[in-house]
Amino acid sequence: MELNALKIIVTGGAQGMGAHFAARLVEAGAQVAVGDVKEDGLASLAASVKGPGKLHTRKLNVADEGEVGAFVNWAHEAMGGLNGLINNAGILRDGLLVKQDRTTGAITRLTLDQWNAVIAVNLTGATLMAREVIAKMIETGTRPGVIVNMSSIARYGNRGQSNYSAAKAALAANTLTWAREFGTYGIRVGAIAPGMIETPMTQGMNQKARDALVERVPCGRIGAPEDIWRGVRFVLECDYFTGRTIDVDGGLSM
């Protein structure tokens, strides 16, 4: 699909990769509806994005089923149609499943709140968004359509990320599931799995752990949002791509 033909939703678009994707899409002439819980970030994005396309913004909590449905209906009306989604919203609540203090021997556990928060946004939220966007496309007879899920190389398993790894692995699996379920409606579903990327999320990491991880990247550097955008753009534009997840990780193995 040509980028200037897109009427596309980007979730988690107030900062980081989502904001970068939105800016690139508007520059390419697309209409873009950006949702995020951070309204100040949405305002900053609206003030900074320039291009022949058009940007629409609205507060969105993807973990809230009612908000998701309302957002999709609003985006469809605001853009005069809807044929794309970038499922980008995500959070981290890292921690070992079980940890023993080396001095006291005390045991701490990953809390249920930590688990539920990540699953709610990164998996349930992404699923709700896909469900409502696909339903809208089918209801309106829109084709072709395209969905890009943002997975992660953490889907292979990563220490201290039981919740995040589980969500991202499930999202990669459902990329193939949804591609098989909705290809007959002209809807493609692909996924990009970023590695270590320079975003506000990774900037909040423990510096020692961050440096150690970057040292393991064969490309010799942390990734940039533009690196991931090029992968996203491929999925959007290549009409013969569906059901697959592409790692864009500089060669890093977790």
Tokens describing residue 202: 């990774």
Give the end-to-end CA distance of the chain in Å, rounded to a whole number.
Answer: 33
Q: What is the DSSP string of the chain?
A: --GGG-EEEEES-SSHHHHHHHHHHHHTT-EEEEEES-HHHHHHHHHH--SSSEEEEEE--TT-HHHHHHHHHHHHHHHT---EEEE-------B-SEEE-TTT--EEE--HHHHHHHIIIIIIIHHHHHHHHHHHHHHHT--SEEEEEE--GGGG--TTBHHHHHHHHHHHHHHHHHHHHHGGGTEEEEEEEE-SB-SHHHHTS-HHHHHHHHHT-TTSS-B-HHHHHHHHHHHHH-TT--S-EEEESTT---
Q: What phi and psi, each to the nearest 5 degrees, are found at residue 221?
A: -160, 165
Choose, from 156, 164, 185, 240, the residue flagged as catalytic: 164
- Please indicate whether residue 185 is annotated as part of the active site: no
d(CA 5, CA 29): 8
CA 6 to the chain's CA centroid: 17
Active site residues: 164
